[in-house]
Amino acid sequence: MNQTDAKTRLLRLIRDHALLEGGDFEFASGARASVYVDLRRVTMHPEGAVLIGAILVERLAGKGVESIGGMATAAIPVVTSVVMASAATDHPLRGFYVRDKAKTHGTQRQIEGQMQKGDKVVLLEDTMTSGRSTMTAVDAVRAEGGEVVGVITVVDRQQGGAELYAAENIPFQALISLDDITSA
């Protein structure tokens, strides 16, 4: 399936399963809106997981990326979809997730999974508002010796994430924007 067809199918799933309108929703950034995209309803959907994995593996192909990760918990299903889809390629990707802060017990790690020092890393997000949550992951990856070469979100709410990453000189992409979802 080509990227255009996959994006069209993903957009339909988001509209059908994840778009909530008419409420008063608060985001991690503190922003409020009457429209909410509950993307976990798509990242945890069989077809949604397959589409997200396929689209992102194609976008990452040939970029030299070695591992992908994101913030717990929202990015975990996105990362898992991509890791699984990449297993069938010539360049499988390793995955990891980042906690808000290091555990105080066990391994006492902030990053869990398969990131290695020196990896070229792309950080993934399900839905981005301001982008500040994923900056926690950027800082953690850099502290562990990884090189962040990009940030990709499935849905961009268009409320400052792209601008934040431009200011940080980190390439940013969104598969779908809030405008894409709400325009019929």
pLDDT tens column, 1-18: 788 899 999 999 999 999
- Integer CA distances (angstroms), 122 to 21, 65, 170, in order: 31, 7, 10
pLDDT for position 4: 83
pLDDT at position 32, please? 87
Q: What is this structure's pTM?
A: 0.94
How high is the pLDDT of residue 29? 74
Percent of the residues in the chain that have a pLDDT greater than 70, as a whole number: 96
Residue spans of beta strands (DSSP E) within the chain: 19-26, 32-37, 67-71, 94-98, 111-113, 120-128, 147-156, 172-177
Mean pLDDT (the chain, rounded): 94
d(CA 133, CA 14): 22
pLDDT at 68 over 70: yes
Q: Which of 159, 166, 169, 83 has its CA nearest to residue 124?
A: 83
Q: What is the pLDDT of residue 184?
A: 64
Between 43 and 129, the more confident residue is: 43
How long, in residues, is the chain?
184
Least confident of 26-35, 81-90, 123-132, 162-171: 26-35
Hey, what domains does the chain have and what are their CATH numbers?
52-182 (3.40.50.2020)
